Structure formats: C-alpha cells, structure tokens
Chain A
Amino acid sequence: MITARGLHKRYKKTVAVNELSFDVRPGVVTGFLGPNGSGKSTTMRLMLGLDHGGGETLFDGTKFGDIRRPMNDVGTLLEAKPFHPTRSARNHLRMLASANRIPTSRIDEVMEYVGLATVKRKKPKGYSLGMAQRLGLAQALLGDPGILLLDEPTNGLDPHGIHWMRDILKRLAYEGRTIFVSSHLLSEMQLMADELVVIGKGNMIFNGDVDTFVREFTQTTVIVRSPAAEAFTPVLEREGATVTTGAKGELIVADLKIDLVGHLAFNEGIELRELSEHSASLEDAFMSATGSSEEFVAIDPEKTAAPAAPAAQAAQPAQDGTDNA
C-alpha cells in the first residue's frame, strides 16, 4: 500500500506538483496518467526522496528513506537507461543487489524472467530501448518487492513487448503486489490499469477507477444527419440541447437523449439520414480532463499551414475538382 499526502514541488515560480494526495492499493494496477510535463516523474521522484519537496509518502507505513535494504520492499524503474554503458547488465544488477543483501542466484532468475538471459553479460550500451526497459524491470523486480513504481515502462517496447509488460504487471498485481505505473498512453492504461490517478500541471484531476473516470469525463453525444439540419437546430435548442455542426455538416447534439431527438424529428416532420450515439473513448476522456492543463502545446497541424503549404493549397482545388469529377 502506498499512501501519498500533500506532495508538493516548486521550481522557482513554477509549481510542478501541487498538493497531491492519493492511495495506491495492493492487488490492482494503478495507472498514473498525465500529459507530458504534467509532473508524473517529479511526483514519483518526490515519493522516493530523490527530489526534495513537501509532503510525505509511506510505503506500507514507512518512508522510503527509512527502509533498510529498500529493493526488497519497493522496486523502481524511473529512467529508460540508467546504466553505465560498459558495465554488463548482470554486473549492474550485482552492484544493486550487493547493497540489499540479494543473492546472486536471484540476478540470473530475474534476467531469465525478463528475457535477457542470453545477453546478461553484454554491455547495456548495445541494448535497444526495449531491452533497456526489460533490464529496468529486472532491476525493479530484483528484491522480489511487494511494491513497484514504474515510470513509463512501456516506452520503446514493440507491440509484443507492451503486451508482455501488461501481462506481467497484471500478474504481479494479482499476486497481491502494489503496482503504480505511469504512462501518457491512454489506450495502454485502458487495458492495463484498474485504478487511475490523473494529473495535469501538477494538479490532481481524478483519482478513482477507470470506469468512473470515463463516465465522469466523457459526454455521450447524438449525431444527426439531415437535409433539414438548419431547421432542426432551433427545435433541438428549444428543448435545452447544445448543438454544434460537425465537419461534414452533421449536427452534434449534447444534453439530449437520442430517443427524444428522434421523437422531435418525427413530430417536426424532419427527414433524418443518420441518428446515432457517440460515446467518447478513454482517450477522449483524457483529452477532456487534461486538455487545459497541458504544459507544452504544439501547433495543431490541421489549423496551421506548413511552410510549403501555399503551393500545396493552390494545387488543392484542382486536385479536389479532379476527384469530384
């Protein structure tokens, strides 16, 4: 069980982590979500005492710095390649094991477990990012800990590797361990996590189970396609709906049930060509929840022309015309 209370970190004028409090329960995978730069890594570093800041984190009731031989209780993976490039993978683990009284036989065991047994005597400088992540997981599992803190462990893994990592984490959680894993990939969390801690710009956005998150941050809308869309809009708005027009001229109706939309169309004698419901995915929920709290926002390519775009745009109508013809 991890108990984090009032975690706080400030860099000069910027608040990186703002009074975060949450619990991570054993037996489930808890996902730690947030856009890039939202403070996930800083929070994890605060929890482990690597960064200095406010608040307190207890691992089964004890601060990390007070745990003797902590790898036996808390396994961590924080950076993608925290290895000396010329120290063999096995020696890297041997070094960490020596500080925690972990037997050498366990090193070979975890190397086998993560699928690096054949390259355990090789230098990590030749490892791909995926192999480095596997070594990182081996490092985290070295002391057979009851708690795991993993920062973006699937970064650099191929689809097979991601599947493997997901299965392993689920299995470890099933064994009763406490798993706290950060990611910015929603699809991954949807498949992996049972509980979520979602932050944006260092602030808590959500803490609870995945289904509640989706329910709370997604809006089910009704899609209406009709040749009389313009006439139908005021009718819907009179009933309290919020109506927007989509890219293809379809009406996107919020705050009104699909049955009522159909009923209104029937009463008004409006021809419908589509009447459907659209539920947002976890990804949409994430965007909705964290959209205003992104730290670094790139220019939307759809709204901005690339430097070479004028020529491309000039050519576009002709292209469209040809297609239409």
Chain B
Amino acid sequence: MLDALRYEWTRLWTLRSTYWLIGIGLLCALAIPLITGIAAGDQTLDTFFTAVLLNGGAMFGLPFLAVFMGIIGIFSTGHEYRHGTIQPTLTSLPQRSRLIAAKILVMSGVTVAVTVLSLVLNAAVMLAFWGEIQGLFEDPLLPSLIGYVLYVLIYMLVGQGLGLLFRGVPSALVVIFLMPLILETAIAGLAFIPALDWLEPAVKFLPFNAGSRLMILDLSDAEDLGGDMLSRWEGGAVFALFAAIIMAAAWTLFKKRDA
C-alpha cells in the first residue's frame, strides 16, 4: 500500500495543473475576506458574515475550493484514461484496489489540508483587517466550518468517482457541475409548481442540496423552507452516501473492466 501511496503522491505533484488549480482555489476563497476587508474593514462582523469570509462565500452556492478540488479529483482518475497512462500505471502497480484506495487516501488528505489551509489564510486576512474573529471555536461557527471542510472533501470524492466511472474528464466535469448548478436547482424550482408538488419531499434528498446543509449556520431556518429539512449531519450523510454509491460503482467496474 505504501508503494501505491507514494505513486499517487508523486503523480499528483508532478502535474502543473495541481499547483494551478489549488492556487486559484485558494486565491478565489481569499479574495472574499480581502475585498470585504478593503471595502468594509471598519464594520463589525456578525456570525453569518464571519462564516462567509472564512469559507470564501461557500454558503452562497458552490464553494470555490470544492470546484477546484473536484476538478483535481476528476483529473486523478479521468486523466489516466484521457492520456492512456492507465497502462503504465497498472504495469507498475497491478493491484487495482490498492491503486484506487491510494488515490482516495492521498486526494482526501490533500483536499482536507488545502481546505484547512484556505481557512487559515482567510482567518489571517480577517485578523489583519478586524483584529479578532469572534466565536471561531464555538457553536455554530465551528460545526459549520467543519461541515465546509467535509463538503469540499465529499465533492472531491464525487469528482474522483465520476472520473473513474466515465473513464475520462469531460463527462465527469459536465455531471459534477450540471447536477448541483442546474439539475438540482431546476428540480427544487419545479417543486413549487402545484402540479409538481409531489417532488417536494425529494428535494431535501437531492445530494448536493443535502450536502450544503453541512455548511449551514442557523438550522432553525429549515422550518421556513418547507417543514422537515435535514439536519447538518443528516444532510452530510445523504451527500456522503451519494459519493459512496458513485465510488463503489466506479471501483467495481474498474476491477471488472479491461484497462
């Protein structure tokens, strides 16, 4: 297993795109507290805006880091097929399950590390402008930030699974962006039409929608949004289950298919 981990680590860090994508992701997230600090550095921050500045606006939609780490996740598996490197990979490391396990472990570790680094950098900028961050290690900010890290991690794993499932990059990119940004939004919107209100119970289980509950600050708003919304960890579990199903299908097919 150590050989596989070493391989995946070297594979990841010998690609220039890894540095670019992580760098752009960090900068995009960093831009939020930086711009806010320049524009409104003299104003007091409430808990909601503290969370927004720390996670780079993740709660407004799709987190910047999730997008970029998702792409790196897709590359980690899809690139092997796109560029035909799966052959040298499997002739240097023929144990397929070990290879996938190593890809998941290395990419998960890097994703968590990069997301935490992003939080630290954003916090440093906030400290520079506001001098303090109130309630950082307290409820509800801390669980929301932990949920943010988990959301980015699960999003990356979905990307990794899709890249392996589709054995390529373009299809996986389409799905990972189309689903949360268009498909789920459309389904949630259609549920408001009286004739389609039977969709409503399913909306809370839409995986990316459910996953976004991980980052939410005030869970009491769930009541207003349609009754029984999922709790933070229930939402996270639905999103994680979605990622697990994709990864399990991809892993099984990877073992069965010709390389």
Contact = CB atoms under 8 A, between A and B. Distances in A.
Interface of A: 45, 48-52, 64-65, 67, 69-71, 74, 76, 78-79, 81-88, 91-92, 94-96, 98-101, 139
B92 A99 contact: yes
B6 A99 contact: yes
Interface in B1-24: 3-4, 6-7, 9-11, 14-17
Given A67-B94, A82-B88, A87 B3 contact: no
Interface in B80-106: 83-85, 87-95
Nearest to B16: A86
B98 to A, nearest CB: 10
Interface in B192-215: none
A142 B4 CA distance: 17
Interface of B: 3-4, 6-7, 9-11, 14-17, 79, 83-85, 87-95, 256-259
B88 A94 contact: no
B83 A82 contact: yes
Given A69-B3, A82-B87, A95-B7, 4 more contacts: A48-B94, A86-B16, A87-B14, A92-B88
Nearest to B95: A65
Contact of B7 (A49, A70, A79, A99): A99
Given A65-B95, A67-B94, A100-B3, A84 B79 contact: yes
B101 to A, nearest CB: 14
Contacts of A83: 83-85
A79 B87 contact: yes
A79 B84 contact: yes
A139 to B, nearest CB: 6
| Most chain A CB neighbours (cut-off 10 Å) among B9, B16, B91 | B91
Contacts of A101: 3
Contact of B83 (A51, A84, A99): A84
Contacts of A49: 90, 94
12 contacts: A50-B259, A70-B91, A71-B91, A76-B87, A76-B91, A78-B87, A85-B83, A86-B17, A95-B10, A96-B89, A100-B3, A100-B92
Given A95-B7, A98-B6, A82 B14 contact: no
B91 A78 contact: yes
Contacts of B256: 52
Contacts of A94: 10, 14
Contacts of B4: 99
A45 B257 CA distance: 12
Given A52-B258, A71-B91, A99-B93, A86 B6 contact: no
A13 to B, nearest CB: 17
Given A50-B259, A99-B3, A100-B3, A87 B87 contact: no
Contacts of B11: 95
A86 B258 contact: no
A70 B92 contact: yes
A81 B258 contact: no
Nearest to A82: B84
Contacts of A95: 7, 10-11, 14
A67 B79 CA distance: 25
A99 B85 CA distance: 14
Contacts of B7: 95-96, 98-99
Contact of A45 (B3, B93, B258): B258
Contacts of A78: 87, 91
Nearest to A151: B87
B51 to A, nearest CB: 37
| Most chain A CB neighbours (cut-off 10 Å) among B7, B79, B88, B93 | B88
A-B complex: 7 closest residue pairs judged by Cβ atoms: A99-B7, A91-B14, A50-B259, A51-B258, A98-B10, A82-B84, A96-B92
Contact of B90 (A50, A69, A87, A139): A50
A87 B84 contact: no
Contact of B84 (A67, A81, A86): A81
A50 B85 contact: no
Contacts of B85: 82-84
B259 to A, nearest CB: 4
Given A64-B94, A95-B10, A50 B87 contact: yes
Contacts of A79: 84, 87
A52 B259 CA distance: 9
Contacts of B90: 48-50
Contacts of B94: 48-49, 64-65, 67, 70
A67 B16 CA distance: 32
A98 B8 CA distance: 9
Contacts of B88: 76, 82, 92, 96, 139
A6 to B, nearest CB: 18
Nearest to A49: B94
A67 B88 CA distance: 15
Nearest to A139: B88
Contact of B91 (A50, A81, A87, A91): A50
Given A78-B91, A79-B84, A45 B259 contact: yes
